[in-house]
Amino acid sequence: MKTKILIVGCGWRSQIYFRAIRNLKEHMEIVGVLMHTKQRAEEVAKETGVFATDSFEEAIALKPDFTILCVPRPVMKEYIIRFMKAQIPVLCETPPGRNVEELNELWQEKLRYNGKVQVAEQYFMQPYYSAVQKIIDNGTLGDVLNVNMSAIHGYHAISIFRKWLGLDCENCTIRGSRFSFPVTKTRDRAGWHETGEIVHPNRDRVELVFENGKTAFFDFDHEQYFSPIRSRSWNIQGLRGEIQNMSVCYLDKYNRPVTEAMHREDDGVYNIDGWSHMYISFRGERIYENPFSGMRINDDEIAVTDMMMRMKKYVETGEDFYSLRDGLQDAYLDFSMEEALTTGNIIETQSQNWK
């Protein structure tokens, strides 16, 4: 039986879910879209061919197996609570609240209603991040002590830091500095730009030193998401080795240094097949295999599609893949980073309700 999904909102982000669900049409289907106005609901129904309404009661009458919330941050908490009260599982976009107070309130409401909530934090399911996690988990690097990452923003970066460093809800000391460096605009969500326009994005650099001594170094400029002239980089250092982007340096069982590379294999490169990602290998073994090999989807779409299948399993079995507790901790540390950046103060985090 197909899993029935209700989507709330229909903007840029929701379109990614529409594509993922259509790619998984044998497993799931969209039964409706909930919008904030009748006019917008009519427009969405016409655009998508899916039933749309501005009535919460009509939406839950469709009896969805779960709902996906793609709504602005100011109303995210209220929607999560409404669906928890209705006993409908929720997949909510990040972050789930506007401030630390809302995060703590949301946790109390989750306990009150025994709400079933997962957070749409998909980066750890992307091929590269999954491959690195496999190398960490198999002990090649020894205990991972610090991570320096310049690739993704805020709560997404926090999620990866916590996973790679093996952290739960440990407190930390945060120091940060914000810079602004001009750069020529090249590309954004709307496409390519060739006007030579100069933009002035922030460059944020933050260090998070956790109470167990493990440390995360955050370095990010929003142009990195799209610009071909602003690269990304990763450095993960452990007791017995490190990963620098795709290169892995480590000690063998005789304590002799070895340097090897992860290898990414994509189909459709230099041949006539349709492009699709296949796998990432290391030391002759596939440490990540695309569960949707053959689909012509990018790395983020692979992760979102994987997340949809995990959400289906969560609804059926109760097995978490990214719990509300994890999402709240990510958001809290992100808010704390922003406070350090905007005030210049050293921030000492405190244990919150969900710890």
The tens place of each residue's pLDDT in the chain, 355 residues long, gives 899 999 999 988 999 999 999 999 999 999 999 999 999 999 999 999 999 999 999 999 999 999 999 999 999 999 999 999 999 999 998 899 999 999 999 999 999 999 999 999 999 999 999 999 999 999 999 999 999 999 999 999 999 999 999 999 999 999 999 999 999 999 998 899 999 999 999 999 999 999 999 999 999 999 999 999 999 999 999 999 999 999 999 999 999 999 999 999 999 998 888 899 999 999 999 999 999 999 999 999 999 999 999 999 999 999 999 999 999 999 999 999 999 999 999 999 999 999 9
Q: Name every residue whose Cβ is closer than 8 Å to that of residue 125 and which is 6 or more positions away in sequence.
A: 302, 303, 306, 307, 310
Q: Are residues 71 and 10 in the same domain?
A: yes
Q: Are residues 111 and 141 in the same domain?
A: no
User: Which of 62, 96, 120 lies at the terminal end of a domain, its last residue?
Assistant: 120
For the four alpha carbons of 150, 151, 156 and 159, in that order, the dihedral sign comes to negative
Q: Are residues 129 and 156 in the same domain?
A: yes
CATH of the domain at 281: 3.30.360
For the four alpha carbons of 139, 302, 262 and 204, in that order, the dihedral sign comes to negative
Q: Are residues 76 and 19 in the same domain?
A: yes
> Where in the sequence is the domain holding 43, given as residue range(s)?
3-120
**Region of 142 on the Ramachandran plot (φ > 0 left; ψ -120 to 50 alpha; else beta):** left
Dist. CA 5–CA 238, nearest whole Å: 42
Total domains, the chain: 2
- Predicted confidence at residue 276, as pLDDT, reads 95
Dist. CA 93–CA 70, nearest whole Å: 6
User: Which of 270, 297, 324 lies at the terminal end of a domain, its last residue?
Assistant: 297
Residue 122 contacts residue 325 (beta carbons within 8 Å): no
**Residue matched to tokens 């290898």:** 263
Is 157 a domain residue?
yes
Is 28 a domain residue?
yes
Is 345 a domain residue?
no
Dist. CA 34–CA 231, nearest whole Å: 38
- Predicted confidence at residue 278, as pLDDT, reads 97
Q: Are residues 244 and 95 in the same domain?
A: no
Q: Please state whether the predicted TM-score (pTM) of the whole model is above 0.85.
A: yes
Q: Are residues 180 and 145 in the same domain?
A: yes
